[in-house]
A and B are shown apart, each in its own frame.
Chain A
Amino acid sequence: MARVVGGLTTSHIPAIGNAVPREKELLNDPYWKEFFAAYPPARAWVQKVKPDVAVVIYNDHGLNFFLDKMPTFAIGAAPEYKHADEGWGIPTIPPFKGDPELSWHIIESLVDEEFDITTCQEMLVDHGFTVPMSLFWPGNTYGDIRTIPVQINTVQHPLPSPARCFKLGQAIGRAIESYPKDLKVVVLGTGGLSHQLDGERAGFINKKFDLMCLDKIVNEPEALTKLSIHELVREAGAQGAEFILWLAMRGVLHNKVTKIHSSYHIAISNTATGLLVLENAA
């Protein structure tokens, strides 16, 4: 049977996408040093567990989806996913392998559980997907990993609630663990932590709230599902609402997890960055 070995979360700021190819030299750069120094333990865990599949829960920022058709939840079911020009100069990285058979198994299981998601046989993936993959598989060594993109709308309100995203994650977890093939699956949740790009409150960061979230998501994620989107925007900033992607990731994991690694850093670009590695209890 397929099994979820654990989860990884990281911020996906575009500036990181520009910096990743220069990581070695930036380890001596005062601005980037602390950020990149946090990743080796996460990569070591990925190397140790050797996953076959990565389910990547992320948000599209206007590459694949526009306001003409804006799905709340969308799942890729393609043999391959390409990155493309996002307009502001992030380098385009090589395509990602898909696993359509597993995608359809998850889709069928989700609809059976009344999550009426959108399915995509063609899907471009943007920095919300690509930056985390290039951070956890440095040098873009993700060639052997099969991926399943799970896209959640954070562009246009109403956004799905933290509770709904957590439940979606739980349903994805049940779907994966009912798949008959012997596969090791990791789940990624990307984005966050607190940040705001727009309005007179641009530049807002909330360290106290972020640290509370980083702590509670490990053993008491249900407490965080009581937040409304409005509260999340108030406490974490307009784009800090991406924390729903972390909660969806946490939903995929078992109730009991072990924290392998975590890190928090202010700031890269306009964002408080967060990194978390959780292993499912056997």
Chain B
Amino acid sequence: MTVITHHDLPIPGTYMFDGKAAMKGYALNKMCYSFNEAKNREEFLKDEKAYCRKYGLTAAQTKAILDRNVLAMIHEGGCIYYLAKFAGIFHLTVQDVGAQQTGMTVEEFKKKLVAQGE
């Protein structure tokens, strides 16, 4: 019998990017990985839907991209390190992305960060 301790319980608001997520999000992450190259970022911006099709994204992944919805991308198997390259195309910082995921304004999110040092 496997003993489950509190250490193994899910951590609220936290997604482990594991094998299951890596399989689910492969196409989405591969597309975002391509954004390391400027020519790919440009091609994406010319026709976002066509670029998503080229990488074989699912309908839900494509919608999350078009909606710029980071939490939805994560639910569809996105890994934040690759998604950051997508966010960078729109000059979004990790604080913009953090604010979006937590439903705060960027100012509120920044205050929350600083408050944890007090």
Residues of A that sit less than 8 Å from B by CB: 15, 61-63, 66-68, 84-89, 155-158, 196-207, 228, 230-231, 233-234, 237-239, 265-267, 269-270, 272
B1 interface residue per 8 A CB criterion: no
Instruction: Please report the C-alpha to C-alpha distance between residue A198 and residue B11 in the assembled complex, in whole angstroms.
Output: 12
Chain B interfacial residues counted at CB < 8 A: 49
Q: Is the CB of B113 within 8 A of A88?
A: no
* 29 A-B interface contacts by CB (under 8 A): A62-B32, A62-B36, A62-B82, A63-B36, A66-B33, A86-B85, A89-B91, A155-B17, A155-B79, A155-B81, A156-B18, A157-B17, A158-B18, A197-B80, A197-B98, A198-B15, A199-B74, A200-B71, A200-B102, A202-B13, A202-B98, A205-B117, A230-B7, A233-B11, A233-B16, A238-B80, A266-B116, A270-B95, A270-B113
Q: Is the CB of A267 within 8 A of B116?
A: yes
Point out the residues of chain A lying under 8 angstroms from B116, CB to CB: 205-207, 266-267, 272
Point out the residues of chain A lying under 8 angstroms from B52, CB to CB: none
Q: Is the CB of B13 within 8 A of A200?
A: yes
A198, closest chain B residue (CB): B80
Instruction: Please report the C-alpha to C-alpha distance between residue A203 and residue B113 in the assembled complex, in whole angstroms.
Output: 6
Q: Write the B77-113 contact mask toward A (1 if CB under 8 angstroms, else 0).
A: 0011111110111010111011001100000010011
A60, closest chain B residue (CB): B81
Q: Is the CB of B87 within 8 A of A85?
A: no
Q: Is the CB of B22 within 8 A of A156?
A: yes
- The binding surface of chain B is classed by DSSP as helix
Point out the residues of chain A lying under 8 angstroms from B117, CB to CB: 205, 207, 265-267, 272
Q: Is the CB of B79 within 8 A of A200?
A: no
The 7 A-B residue pairs with the shortest CB-CB distance, nearest first, are: A88-B88, A266-B117, A201-B13, A200-B13, A87-B85, A198-B80, A202-B98
B100, closest chain A residue (CB): A202
Q: Is the CB of A270 within 8 A of B85?
A: no
Question: Which chain B residues (30-88) contact chain A, with CB distance < 8 Å?
Answer: 30, 32-33, 35-38, 41, 70-71, 74, 79-85, 87-88
Point out the residues of chain B lying under 8 angstroms from A201, CB to CB: 11-14
4 more A-B residue pairs beyond the given contacts A87-B35, A198-B101, A202-B101, with a C-beta to C-beta distance below 8 A: A88-B89, A198-B15, A199-B74, A203-B102
B36, closest chain A residue (CB): A87
Most chain B beta-carbon contacts within 10 A, residue among A63, A158, A270, A272: A270
